[in-house]
Amino acid sequence: MGQIPTLVTDRLILRPFTLDDAPAVKELAGEWEIAETTANIPHPYEEGMAEEWISTHQEAFDKEEAVTFAITLKPDGVLIGAIGIHINKTNRLAEMGYWIGKPYWNQGHCTEATKEVLRYVFEALGLNRAQARHMTKNPASGRVMHKVGMKYEGTLRQSVFRWGKFEDAAIYSILRDEYGLVSVHSR
C-alpha cells in the first residue's frame, strides 16, 4: 500500500512514527494520567515498548487494517501525541483513538488532529463511518469528539476492564454524509 501518509494542518504535522520517536513516546505515554484513561496504553511504560509498538505500524497499514500518526508541532517537529484508526473494510468504518501528552493538553491540538484524520477517513479512504469511544471518566476526550461533529450514540456500560475494575465508555460517530457539515477550521 506504500508509505503511511503525512497530513498537515495549520499547526500540526501528522506523520508516520519512526524509531527515533520512541524516547518521546515512552516519556509522554508513560504518564499515569495518559494510561489511566485509555484502554491499551500500559503503565508502567517500560523500555522497548515504544519501539515494539512503532514497529507494528507499517505492517498494519500495508494490510489496510490501521493507520497510526505521530502528532507533531509544525514549527519544530516536537512529538506531542498519537492518533490512529483501525479500519473495518467490510463495514466501511474507522474506529479512532488518540492521546496527547500532558504538557500539550487544552491547546486544541487533539481537535485539530482529529478533524484532519476525519478528512483522511472520508476523502482519502472513502469510508462511510468514523467512530470513537472514551471512558466516561475522561470527558475531555468526549468534548473533542463533539467539537469535530461526532454525535453521541450511547454509553457502553462496563465495556472496558482496566486496572482491575470495569469502566463505562461513551461512543460517538460521524457519517460520511454528515462530514460535509463540519467546518474543518472551526475550533
Predicted confidence pLDDT, tens digits, the chain (187 residues): 689 999 999 999 999 999 999 999 999 999 999 999 898 899 999 999 999 999 999 999 999 999 999 999 999 999 999 999 999 999 999 999 999 999 999 999 999 999 999 999 999 999 999 999 999 999 999 999 999 999 999 999 999 999 999 999 999 999 999 997 554 444 3
Sheet of 12-15: strand order equals: 7-8, 12-15, 66-73, 79-88, 93-100, 129-135, 165-175, 151-162
Q: Are 96 and 83 in contact (CB under 8 A)?
A: yes
Residue from 160, 184, 183 nearest 170 by CA:
160
Three-state secondary-structure class, residue 142: helix
pLDDT for residue 182: 52
Dump strand ranges (E) for the chain. Answer: 7-8, 12-15, 66-73, 79-88, 93-100, 129-135, 151-162, 165-175
pLDDT for residue 1: 61
d(CA 79, CA 99): 11
pLDDT for residue 63: 97
Q: Are 182 and 118 in contact (CB under 8 A)?
A: yes
Q: Domain 7-131 is classified in which CATH homologous superfamily?
A: Gcn5-related N-acetyltransferase (GNAT) (3.40.630.30)
Residue from 153, 90, 159 nearest 127 by CA:
90
